[in-house]
Amino acid sequence: MTQAKSNKTFMKRKEDVERKWFHIDATGLTLGRLASEIAKILRGKHDPSYTPHTDCGDGVIVTNCEKVRVTGNKSVQKMYRHYTGFQSGLREMTYQDMLERKPNRIIEHAVKGMVPRTRLGRRQMKRLRVFAGPEHGMEAQQPIAVNSK
């Protein structure tokens, strides 16, 4: 009688994690597709040894965030809303205004909606760095360039 093969599931521990940094140039990329790729890297799903309960993701540096594009009429119709905490404190800003004032918040907001709303997701979001121009001061991390479509 043959014995059944025992396949053990590999679970990565936080001590085994070796972080890498990736650099993405957002010029001409679609916002939602870019955000899903960034979220995948932050969570660690690009790695074959992905473990859901461990913070095994890598860091992401995004440059040229003001050159990201949206499709359809989103550039005119998309609204960003936040509440200040005071009465009648709902503040709204269109995509165009956000692009002029705080272009890095556009990508941060899109990625934040794609990571888990837990302590683990908040920890993963801290490894996202978004810069408006082509320059970033993070050469010490030796980022790996990612060629997105």
- Residue 14 covered by a domain: no
Q: Which of 103, 59, 49 is nearest to 80 (CA)?
A: 103
- CATH number for 110: 3.90.1180.10
Domain that holds residue 53: 19-70+103-146
Tally the domains of the chain: 1
The dihedral built from the CA positions of residue 35, 24, 63 and 30, taken in this order, carries a sign that is negative
Residue 1 has pLDDT above 60, yes or no: no
Is 13 inside any structural domain?
no
3-state SS class at 91: strand
Tokens 């909606």 sit at which residue?
113
| Predicted pLDDT at 20 | 96
Q: Which residues contact 66 (CB under 8 A, 6 or more apart)?
A: 99, 103, 132, 133
Residue 134 lies in a domain: yes
Query: What pLDDT digit, counting tens, does each position of 69-90 carry?
Result: 999 999 999 999 999 999 999 9
Q: What is the pLDDT of residues 9-58, one digit of tens each?
A: 888 898 989 999 999 999 999 999 999 999 999 999 999 999 999 999 99
**How high does pLDDT run on average in the chain?**
93
- pLDDT of 148 reads 66
Residue 88 domain-assigned?
Answer: no
In a domain, 9, yes or no: no
pLDDT at 10: 83
Query: How many angstroms separate the Cα of 43 from the Cα of each of 13, 61, 102?
Result: 14, 14, 25
Q: Are strands 21-25 and 144-146 parallel, antiparallel or unpaired?
A: parallel
